[in-house]
């Protein structure tokens, strides 16, 4: 199980009352909410390994150089020599060290890579995994990783933890009319205002899905739009003059957007086993520290719940392995 950690702690921050604070007045709603999410996910889906994937750079400069509008509306401060500073509410920012500490005490490895987003870490770990993978996120960009043959699916949290959706290829086909393997091309064509991706003018979801149904891939449709007679003769469908013009007019965007939209799948990362991601009960000093922090930080029942969930799931995995 790969957690899109920022997606989850933002959801926790906005979904759990900010009135929950520790004694010094620091908010703890994101910490409590995230721990409860992990407790539920582990109990319901029983992963054997769990990794918290982290945005070491939420807006990599190499993506911004290609599309300057990429996530620009979320920038609080541009940092020329390093990661830009994201606009994050102060009460949430103050909780990030607590989140990292609790994850460490739970034995859940936090994995980030310089100049890359959590999506790229997830893409690499999901692609190189030797076991089925559940990606937990509210970010639909990760639908491009769905692969039924390899057992890669997305546990989609956009509708809330009580309405989780299991995104498989069948789900993507039913929702968008495309294969999951076409999702990155689909997103490139459609664009995404939440990420500052303009898309192709005049091409929405239905048109993008229709183009991919007709031509199969962005590369194939661009070859036809360019006037390549061989591509046109080999294409299973014809392209209208107006659509050809739209794609030609978007040439500069389409030349770079796939690099921005496609998640990186070949980072130099250890395997889940090498990362120490196998779930195990939390014992000894780490458990005592967590229980102390539950009191000190006013984490309520979230710590006992996540500890109990890890105890049950790790114990069940051990029993299965023994059998």
Dump the DSSP string for 77-125: E--TTSPPEE---HHHHTTHHHHHHHHHHHT--EE--TT--HHHHHHHH
The structure's pTM equals 0.94
Cβ atoms within 10 Å of 188's Cβ, excluding its own:
25
pLDDT tens digit at each of 323 positions of the chain: 999 999 999 999 999 999 999 999 999 999 999 999 999 999 999 999 999 999 999 999 999 999 999 999 999 998 887 899 999 999 999 999 999 999 999 999 999 999 999 999 999 999 999 999 999 999 999 999 999 999 999 999 999 999 999 999 999 999 999 999 999 999 999 999 999 999 999 999 999 999 999 999 999 999 999 988 888 888 888 899 999 999 999 999 999 999 999 999 999 999 999 999 999 999 999 999 999 999 999 999 999 999 999 999 866 555 454 44
Written as six digits, the tokens of 44 are 């319901």
Helix-then-strand count for the chain, H and E: 15, 8
Supply φ then ψ for residue 253, to 5 degrees.
Answer: -65, -45
Cβ atoms within 10 Å of 152's Cβ, excluding its own:
22
Cβ atoms within 10 Å of 147's Cβ, excluding its own:
17
Tell me the three state secondary structure of residue 27. Answer: strand
Interior CA angle at 113 toward 37 and 132, to 5°?
50
């Amino acid at each position: 199980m790969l957690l899109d950690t920022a997606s989850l702690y933002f959801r926790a921050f906005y979904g759990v009352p900010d009135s929950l604070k520790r004694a010094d007045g620091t908010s703890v709603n994101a910490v409590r909410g995230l721990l409860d999410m992990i407790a539920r996910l582990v109990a319901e889906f029983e992963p054997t390994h769990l990794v918290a994937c982290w945005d070491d750079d939420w807006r990599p400069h190499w993506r911004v150089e290609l599309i300057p509008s990429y996530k620009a509306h979320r920038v609080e401060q541009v940092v020329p020599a390093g990661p830009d500073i994201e606009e994050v509410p102060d009460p949430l920012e103050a909780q990030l060290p607590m989140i990292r500490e609790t994850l460490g005490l739970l034995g859940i490895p936090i994995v980030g890579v310089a100049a890359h987003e959590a999506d790229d870490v997830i893409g690499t770990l999901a692609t190189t995994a030797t076991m089925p993978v559940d990606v937990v996120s509210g970010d639909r960009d990760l639908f491009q990783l769905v692969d039924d043959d390899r057992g890669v699916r997305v546990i989609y949290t956009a509708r809330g933890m009580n309405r989780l959706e299991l995104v498989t290829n069948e789900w993507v086909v039913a929702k968008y009319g495309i294969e999951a393997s076409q999702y990155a091309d689909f997103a490139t064509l459609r664009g995404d205002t939440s990420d500052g991706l303009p898309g192709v003018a005049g091409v929405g979801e239905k048109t993008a899905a229709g183009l991919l149904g007709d031509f199969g891939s962005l590369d194939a449709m661009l070859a036809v739009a360019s006037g390549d007679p061989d591509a046109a003769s080999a294409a299973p469908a014809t392209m209208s003059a107006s659509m050809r013009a739209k794609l030609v007019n978007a040439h500069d965007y389409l030349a770079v957007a796939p690099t921005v939209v496609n998640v990186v799948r070949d980072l130099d990362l250890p395997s889940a086993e090498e990362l120490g991601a196998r779930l195990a009960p939390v014992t000894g000093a780490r458990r005592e520290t967590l229980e102390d922090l539950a009191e000190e930080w006013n984490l309520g029942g979230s710590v006992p719940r996540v500890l109990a969930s890890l105890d049950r799931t790790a114990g069940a995995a051990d029993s299965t392995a023994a059998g």
